[in-house]
Every structure is written in structure tokens, then in C-alpha cells.
Amino acid sequence: MDVAELHGIAIVGGGICGLATALALYRKGITSIVLERAETLRTTGAGIGMQSNGWRALDQLGVGLKLRQTAIPVLRNGEARCLKRSILVETLANELPTGTIRFGCQIIDVQMDPLTSLPILQLHDGTVIKAKVAIGCDGVNSVIANFIGLKPPKQSTMGGARGFTNCENGHGFSLELVTINKGHVLLGRFPLDHNLVYWFVARPITPQDTTKIISLALESVKGFPREMLEMIQNCDVDSLTFNGIRYRVPWELLNARFRKGTVTVAGDAMHVMGPFLGQGGSIALEDAIVLARCLATQRRAEVALDQYIGERRMRLVQISTKTYVVGTLLETLSVVVKLLCIVLMVIFFCERLGHTRYDCGDL
């Protein structure tokens, strides 16, 4: 195999985690390359709720102030604002030196160089890239996680629809994050400003569901307050997305091997979780800060990666357990399991927003 290029750090995937990791490294004076399979920045998913822990990480990346100007704070214990995904990824990308992100680069295979033990990334067009360190930020179907030996994430019986509704004369909603849960359906709304509101519906799904998002979202929220139904009815159709929910079970995170040689994972590739706490993106930002800090302070990459994994593991176990319990509570038909979830919530997670007080530390 002819190796065309050699890089210090190659980041696979230019989503929130990949871009944040590249930016965190750049702030520490370390260059990297981001290999993204899409031809442009991916902005699907309309909005993203960002709470105190996410804002702390964005401040460390030096983009907190700029992003705060794009979304108003909502009433919460701690800071909470909803961002447009497009603005978040564009802001992260614009802070990177030109040429850092390479679009149209899909990684299809990873191998270990038998001589140097360094990772060799194979692209769909036959290009081969060798790196001293490879970081998989390639999301839920991660090629890098597969190379490391992580199992594919589990498929939930729930799915999530999301979108924006823009009301020219003001939406009139209170400026707070409101979630309503009825039976197996969770509906939430999160205003970005006085006109634009982000909403999401988590509900049980069937394989045909992706084709008729609005009608299914509306059908599943029958009996919810009228203004919530109108919000979905009047949504901006272009902003709509629908995803099946995938997750890694917390006990897998407890003892999973997250490193193979100098290859590791971050973001959804490492710890995808249900959207029930709205934390996947914030946790991915925390990963980026810790990973860059470890790579900047340790001379040997393997030691840095082990330090990163050691620092992240219990945080990931805790947050994914809380998400898992909230998701199970919504999903299960069994009264016994429901009761068990409530007991677990009361014993371990009695502080509803305790997870947002986490501080991933300075970059």
C-alpha cells in the first residue's frame, strides 16, 4: 500500500466533536487535519440545546461569547440556550486555519502499519493517509470505533423528530425549555429568540416513519396543549429531521477499550446516547477539551490517550446511565421496570440538572 501523506493528528469526521477537537488542539498550538466525508459542513438537526457544561467547553474553545450573541438565555438553573446547529458548526469551522478541514474524504478502512504501529487510513477514492494519532469523531456508525473493537450501538424502539418554527409576529412562548411527557411520547420546545422556536418529539417508531415526519409528530402529540400542536403544524419543513435513536449501554462504557495503539474515539462514536437529556453535543465538546489537553501535556501519544480515557470514563458512565434510565422510563411497558427507574432516579439522580454542573476544566 502506497502511503500518500503523513500527518501528526488525523481527525475522522467534521461534526461538532471533530471540529471542536481540531479547534481545541489548534488553541494548544497543535495542528491537525479533519477528514469529513460530506462535501460541505453538515448542519442537519435544526437546533441543539446547550446547557452550562456545554457553555463552559465553548468558552474554553474561545467561541462562547460569539455564540451567546446568537441565542437568548432561557430560564433554568444554570445557563441554557438553544443554538442553530448551522451556526455552531460554522463558528467552530471558521476558527480553524484554512485547509484544516478536507471535505469529500470518506474513511472506509483503518489498518495498523506492521512496521511502525501507526494507523493507516484508507479513503474511498484510494488515497491512503498515515497519522501519528487518529481520532474517530465519525458519529454513530463509526469506522474507527469498529477498528478499535467497540460493538455497534444498540437501536432503540424510539425515534426523534426535530424542527424549527418561525413566527414572524413572535411565538409568544415563555422563554424557558419546556418538556411534556405523556405515555411514551416526550415533546419539548426551546426558544432561540422571540420568533424562532426549536422543538423535538421522541416517540416509538416503525421502519416506515421517516417518510411522514410531521403527520407522525402531530399524531403522537394529540392531547398535548394546543399551542404545541400549532408549533409543529407551522414548522419550517426544510428544518425537519427524523432519526432512529441509537445508544451505547452504560455498562459497556464502564469497561470498553477506547484505544488501540494511537487510535481513539470521541463524541457519538465513543458514547452515543439517547437525546432525553439533550447532552450528546455538550459531552462531545467536553471530550474535545480533555483530549486536546492530554495530547498537549503528554509527550507519548499512548499515555495521553490513556489519560483522556481515564478522565472521561466515569463522566460518560454517569451521564449515559442517567440518559438510559430516563429513556427506559419513557419506553418501557412494564410497571415493574418503571418503578425501578423511578427508584434509581430518586437515589442516584435526585438533582435534575446536576449533570450540567460538570466542569471539564481548562484547555
The reply to whether 18 sits near ligand FAD by the rule CB under 6 A is yes
The pattern of x and - marking residues 42 through 81 that bind ligand FAD according to CB under 6 A reads x--x--xx--------------------------------
C-alpha 165/C-alpha 284 separation (Å) is 26
C-alpha 28/C-alpha 286 separation (Å) is 15
Interface pick for ligand FAD out of 31, 43, 70, 106 (rule CB under 6 A): 106
Report the SS3 class of residue 160: strand
How many other C-beta atoms lie within 10 A of the C-beta of residue 141?
Answer: 13
Identify which of residues 153 and 160 has a Cβ nearer to ligand FAD in the complex.
160
Interface pick for ligand FAD out of 9, 11, 16, 291 (rule CB under 6 A): 16
From 32, 269, 247, 25, select the one nearest 141 (Cα to Cα): 269
Q: Which ranges constitute the DSSP H helices of 113-257?
A: 143-148, 213-220, 226-233, 250-255
The reply to whether 132 sits near ligand FAD by the rule CB under 6 A is no
Q: What is the amino acid identity at position 188?
A: G
The reply to whether 331 sits near ligand FAD by the rule CB under 6 A is no
CB 202 within 8 A of CB 329: no
CB 331 within 8 A of CB 203: no
The pattern of x and - marking residues 137 through 176 that bind ligand FAD according to CB under 6 A reads xxx---x----------------x-x--------------
Identify which of residues 107 and 118 has a Cβ nearer to ligand FAD in the complex.
107
From 203, 210, 163, 157, select the one nearest 182 (Cα to Cα): 203
The reply to whether 111 sits near ligand FAD by the rule CB under 6 A is no
Identify which of residues 102 and 298 has a Cβ nearer to ligand FAD in the complex.
102
C-alpha 186/C-alpha 201 separation (Å) is 6
How many other C-beta atoms lie within 10 A of the C-beta of residue 92?
Answer: 28
Residue 57 Cβ vs ligand FAD, minimum distance, rounded to whole Å: 10
Identify which of residues 124 and 151 has a Cβ nearer to ligand FAD in the complex.
124
Query: Which secondary-structure segment (H or E) carries 178?
Result: strand 178-182
From 80, 139, 161, select the one nearest 273 (Cα to Cα): 139
The reply to whether 280 sits near ligand FAD by the rule CB under 6 A is yes
From 347, 159, 142, select the one nearest 256 (Cα to Cα): 142
Residue 162 Cβ vs ligand FAD, minimum distance, rounded to whole Å: 5
Residue 300 Cβ vs ligand FAD, minimum distance, rounded to whole Å: 26
* Burial of residue 208, with CB atoms counted within 10 A of its CB: 0-12 exposed, 13-18 middle, 19 or more buried: exposed
Interface pick for ligand FAD out of 284, 291, 295, 304 (rule CB under 6 A): 284
Interface pick for ligand FAD out of 9, 10, 11, 13 (rule CB under 6 A): 13
The pattern of x and - marking residues 234 through 273 that bind ligand FAD according to CB under 6 A reads ---------x-----------------------xx-----
Residue 54 Cβ vs ligand FAD, minimum distance, rounded to whole Å: 6
Q: What is the chain's Cα-based Rg?
A: 20
Q: Which stretch binds ligand FAD (CB under 6 A): 109-117, 134-142, 225-233, 302-310?
A: 134-142
Query: Which secondary-structure segment (H or E) carries 64?
Result: helix 64-68
Residue 306 Cβ vs ligand FAD, minimum distance, rounded to whole Å: 21
Contacts to ligand FAD by CB under 6 A: 12-18, 35-38, 42, 45, 48-49, 105-107, 137-139, 143, 160, 162, 200, 243, 267-268, 275, 278-282, 284
